Amino acid sequence: MTDIEHGSSIDRREALKRVGVMLGGVALVGGTNLLVACEKAGTPARDTAAAAGSGAFTTQDIALLDEVAETILPQTKTPGAKAAKTGAFMALMVTDSYSPADQKIFRDGMKTLNDVTQQAHKVDFMKATPEQRLAVLTQLDREQKRHMDARDAAVRAKRGLPPVPVTAEAGEAGKEGDAYVSDQRQENAAGSRTNAAPAITEDAPTHYFRMMKELALLGYFTSEIGYTQAQRYEETPGQWIPCAPYTKGEPAWAPHA
């Protein structure tokens, strides 16, 4: 079996699955094309993407994506998304795996992100404080959740399927749960009820912040930092233990290469 069959392809598939779970079990934008693009996003490509501009993306664009990803996955006891060069990864994935229509949504979304920040805080996203950035992304995360829930509901209705049950909120505590955007490394965040916009149909495009969020997660957790510091990784794990003891707060095991 080749290294690709046994190694990186399987790892990235597992990473895609994990990101899908974090995002509610839905398919990622770009689908299996992300696996092909991931193979082009090895260490040399990731390191040189910012300098090369990643195609249509400028160094300023990549800096913005770095800050978006860092707000979602900030530095804590382990390095954050910016240290893992997630912005360059995001730009490369959009260029190499997204359709022209989705690329336009993503690029337009970057401009909208700045517009929203300007409206809320009178500054561009890059000049906003960490607290202001978090507030903006939390707002956009709620917005994309409503959008995607409405689109999924329209798809289910068209197929004659029953709606997905929604977890009820417990007053203000439910709203506070939305703040998990600040650190996606906290798994199994509680869902929240949203009021879907009835105008959204099954053919509505993916929300731009959904794209940003899933690429930030994928980029971070397939990086060396994400694999070896945010998760536990052993190149040669030794014996197989089907029921290993777990202490609350321990990081997940990275997929074996």
What pLDDT score does 166 carry? Answer: 64
Assigned domain for 139 exists: yes
Backbone angles phi, psi at 232, to 5 degrees: -95, 130
Euclidean distance between CA atoms 24 and 184, whole angstroms: 12
Euclidean distance between CA atoms 236 and 256, whole angstroms: 8
Backbone angles phi, psi at 186, to 5 degrees: -85, 105
Q: Which of these, 116, 119, 118, 104, lies nearest to 141 by C-alpha position?
A: 116
Assigned domain for 32 exists: yes
* Total of domains in the chain: 1
What pLDDT score does 187 carry? Answer: 38
Q: pLDDT, tens digit, for every residue of 42-80?
A: 544 444 444 444 457 999 999 999 999 999 999 998 899
Backbone angles phi, psi at 16, to 5 degrees: -60, -40
Euclidean distance between CA atoms 136 and 121, whole angstroms: 9
Assigned domain for 158 exists: yes
- For 148, the domain range is 3-230
Assigned domain for 245 exists: no
Q: pLDDT, tens digit, for every residue of 78-131?
A: 899 999 999 999 999 999 889 999 999 999 999 999 999 999 999 999 999 999
